[in-house]
Amino acid sequence: MLMNREFVNLGYQYFTLADGNTFRLASKDLESWVSDLPIPAIIDEAQRIPELPLAIKERVDGIESDSPIFILTGSASINKYSLGGQNPLTRRSRQLTLYPFTQRELAGINRSLIDDLWKGIPNESFRGSVSKDELRRRINIGGFPGYAATILHMSENERNLQIASDIDNVLGESILPDEYLDKTIAQTILQELFALPGGILNVSRLAAELHYDNRTIERYISIFTRRFLITALPNLRLAAHRQTIARAKIHPCDSSFTTNALHRAGQDPAANPSLFGGVFESFVANQILPEAQWSDKRAECFYWREPGKNPKEVDLVLLCDHKLIGIEVKSASTIRSEDFNGLRKLSEDDRFVRGFVVYTGDRFIKESDDLWAIPIAAFWKEGAFTMEEKPHEHSSTSIDLIPQEKAVIDASIFLSYCHEDNEHLDGAIIRLAQSIVAEYSFQFGSSLSLFTDVDSIDWGADWQRTLDQNIEATNFIMPSITPRYLKSGPCRDELTKFYQQTENSTNSMILSLVWQDVDKAGFSVENDIAYKIVKKHQYRNVADLQDLEPQDRAYKQRVRELVSELRKVIERNASEAVGSHPLPSSVPAKPTDEKGLLEKMAEIAEEIPSFEEACNSLLESMNNVVSTMSENPAPVLKQPAAFINWSAAIAQDTSVDLEAMRKNLTGINDAWLDLHNFIREAIEIASQLPNGPSKSELLTSIENTLEGIKRSSSMPPDVKEFESQLQMIQTLTPRLRPLATGFRNVFATFSSIESMTTDLLAQAKLAR
């Protein structure tokens, strides 16, 4: 996925050995297949043919290039084959592992934690408290995009089921050549490893407990390592020739794996301090190991343990350029002097530079010039470290993919879509957006920047801020409209957030692609605020593209039409920015609003009563429905005839209230869109006033108005609980489907209003 999204547009050809035909062709005559490949090329699942690295070597020998000629990727590590066990691509290649996100990466900090630990100056005034609940939540969710970086909120139970399913799928795939794997044995051993995070592996003990021989345990651990399920840290204390996996310290590649394994074993780390200490240690390791690949200090990672009856130990040691730093982990909120004992012993090594004890407190504590206690929150919060000099620009870690002149970017497109829709359409939504970008470049010689990863931001990344930044940098949002899109809270939020900026900026546009007739699903422009926004702006029906291939003439024609629409708007924006060209006659100019703040405040005051009245009437109708159904409970499902008669009676008794709900929702949508525009413009005007009592009073008035809107559009708890029941009942009988749809539309609208109101409040506070 990463290769297709980031590299194919740069000219790389993509091939995957997961495809049966490709695999058979490559296996039959590997040298000829490799020599005939167009370069630069990506070969996915490269581990399936062990001799591939040698064939690649033969192809690249003699080719001088500063850019990668081949990119080999795989869902298992691509190991050393041929040439007597040596890697034939030594000095010709660089290996990278795609780890789960660290908390720092999720927070959008692009400076490596390792560089901060190595050469940063701890900020003793830094305060970074993190509650036990928040820390446990971060540990439980971990860093995999599917769990940590999705705006689709998962319950803990849903996440546990998903993790178990994902691990089961990984163990069930035949992704390594000539590999035999018994799934039952694999799951048993893996469960034990996950349940002992941060422990030093004792193969003999594990074999005895599980009743397998040592060689079986070691073979499966090797498989888990190659499949990126666990990380095995060697002991720095041992000589290189004595390193074996039997003496390694084992960490899951992500803390979510361990908490899931403990959950399935009926263990609760929160209730067991010793167990939580191991989980916390693995969580810390998961924050450091991934960043070792791209930091200025390209460190190797070890643990350190001396021999003897009462040995000293350091949980994690980073070694680079014959220098090292040690990291000890303590799952406590206070630090004692003896917590530094392992680091003190390690400091006797001439290579020692500094050491840290990571703990759950809120501040740095200086033990000595080279020993510090560091709060865990410093890993993902800005301001924890200061730098004496500007960090290097990571020139040594960058990869120049294709030497070329920097492309001219005319505009950016933010593709807003539901991943389930894209999967159902076999990737058609993303494929259409990519086709538009390619056609635009072909026609005009310049580029469009496409942002498609819209479902990959959540709590750990301060997703609200990150999403806002992406939207601010985007000229177009291209929502892919389907019934599922309009029912998705995150998708609706993206659209309404962009809408706010669209109304405020001449160079932001909404161009909706309608992939399915949403009117049949109960959405109407009058009763759904998100759909109303779609209809208010440009939109194109592309439902017919579902059954077309990109090479079809009709498909290409539609792409050219969409590119033409985009080009018109881009040219209009460019002419407005320069001010020397008239607007195209096909694109109407945006009228100039010369109203001042007082006029805006007056318009707000005029709209508020009708909005509040519609909200009150709507909630009254909904409460009537709730009362009707509460007073007439449904019969048991064992009596289908009685249930059908009951649903018909309920539909009849609530028909008047349902019609009132529809009418009031239309009024709320109309009033809110007007109110939103008035309030946004009032905030902008007020922000330009000089600071003083008058400005503060006006902004306070606006904030009070917004708080009143939030109260008016808040849903009573009993109505919220009722909505889920109604959705379940409508699956049993279609008679109540209109009622369920009406409630769903109300919830969606009120959710959008709440989100947009929250954003306006934030803008008002910034204007002070």
- For 360-475, strand residue ranges (E) read 365-368, 371-375, 385-386, 409-416, 447-451
* AA identity, residue 253: C
β-pair type (365-368, 371-375)? antiparallel
Give the chain's radius of gyration (CA, Å): 30
Q: Name the pTM for this structure.
A: 0.52
* Residues facing 352 on adjacent strands: 324
Within 10 angstroms of residue 169's Cβ, the number of other Cβ atoms is: 9
Helix (H, G, I), strand (E, B) or coil at 316: strand
* AA identity, residue 438: A
Q: Please, how many CA atoms are within 13 Å of residue 725, restricted to the half-sphere of its CB?
A: 11
pLDDT at 724: 58
Region 571-583: mean pLDDT is: 53
Region 90-94: mean pLDDT is: 70
Cα 549 to Cα 3, 416, 429, 452, 481: the distances in Å are 22, 22, 12, 20, 20
Cα end-to-end span (Å), the chain: 44
Helix (H, G, I), strand (E, B) or coil at 173: coil
* AA identity, residue 460: G
pLDDT at 33: 92
pLDDT at 397: 37
pLDDT at 367: 92
Region 118-136: mean pLDDT is: 88
> What string of DSSP letters covers 499-516?
HHHHTT-TT-EEEEEE-S
Structure tokens at 504: 């405020």
374 has a pLDDT exceeding 90 = yes
355 has a pLDDT exceeding 90 = yes
133 has a pLDDT exceeding 70 = yes
Cβ(300)–Cβ(157) below 8 Å: no
Helix (H, G, I), strand (E, B) or coil at 32: helix
Helix (H, G, I), strand (E, B) or coil at 723: helix
Helix (H, G, I), strand (E, B) or coil at 317: strand
Q: How far is 340 from 357, CA to CA, in rounded Å? A: 7
pLDDT at 692: 80
pLDDT at 154: 65
- Residue burial 709-722, b: 16+ Cβ < 10 Å; e: rest: beebbebeeebeeb
Q: How far is 704 from 688, CA to CA, in rounded Å? A: 20
Lowest mean pLDDT across 133-147, 465-479, 564-578, 637-651: 465-479
Structure tokens at 524: 């109407």
403 has a pLDDT exceeding 60 = no
Structure tokens at 714: 């808040």
Confidence class for position 144, pLDDT limits 50, 70, 90: confident
* AA identity, residue 116: D
40: cis peptide before it, omega within 30°?
Answer: yes
pLDDT tens, residue by residue, 177-219: 666 778 888 888 888 888 888 888 888 888 888 888 888 888 8
Continuous segment of H or E residues that includes residue 129: none
Q: How far is 365 from 537, CA to CA, in rounded Å? A: 56
Residue where the block lists tokens 């026609």 = 443
Confidence class for position 348, pLDDT limits 50, 70, 90: very high
* Residues above pLDDT 70, as percent of the chain: 81
3-state helix, strand, coil in the chain (%, to 5): 55, 10, 35
Picking from 745, 73, 154, the residue whose alpha carbon sits closest to that of residue 455 is: 154
Q: How far is 440 from 505, CA to CA, in rounded Å? A: 23
Cβ(735)–Cβ(654) below 8 Å: no
Region 670-680: mean pLDDT is: 78
pLDDT tens, residue by residue, 480-525: 888 888 877 777 777 777 776 555 555 567 878 888 877 766 666 5
Cβ(276)–Cβ(176) below 8 Å: no
Residue where the block lists tokens 């998962």 = 154
Q: How far is 764 from 422, CA to CA, in rounded Å? A: 37
Position with higher pLDDT, 94 vs 315: 315
Within 10 angstroms of residue 655's Cβ, the number of other Cβ atoms is: 12
Q: How far is 344 from 354, CA to CA, in rounded Å? A: 10
1 has a pLDDT exceeding 50 = yes
Position with higher pLDDT, 34 vs 678: 34
Region 242-248: mean pLDDT is: 65
Continuous segment of H or E residues that includes residue 358: strand 352-359
Contacts of 101 (CB under 8 A, 6+ apart): 143, 144, 145, 148, 149, 290, 460, 461
Cβ(587)–Cβ(572) below 8 Å: yes
Picking from 672, 498, 507, the residue whose alpha carbon sits closest to that of residue 575 is: 507
Confidence class for position 407, pLDDT limits 50, 70, 90: very low
pLDDT at 304: 92
Contacts of 607 (CB under 8 A, 6+ apart): 671, 674, 675, 678
* AA identity, residue 271: A
Position with higher pLDDT, 71 vs 605: 71
pLDDT at 457: 36
pLDDT at 379: 93
Question: Rounded to an integer, what is the distance from CA 86 to the centroid of its chain?
Answer: 38
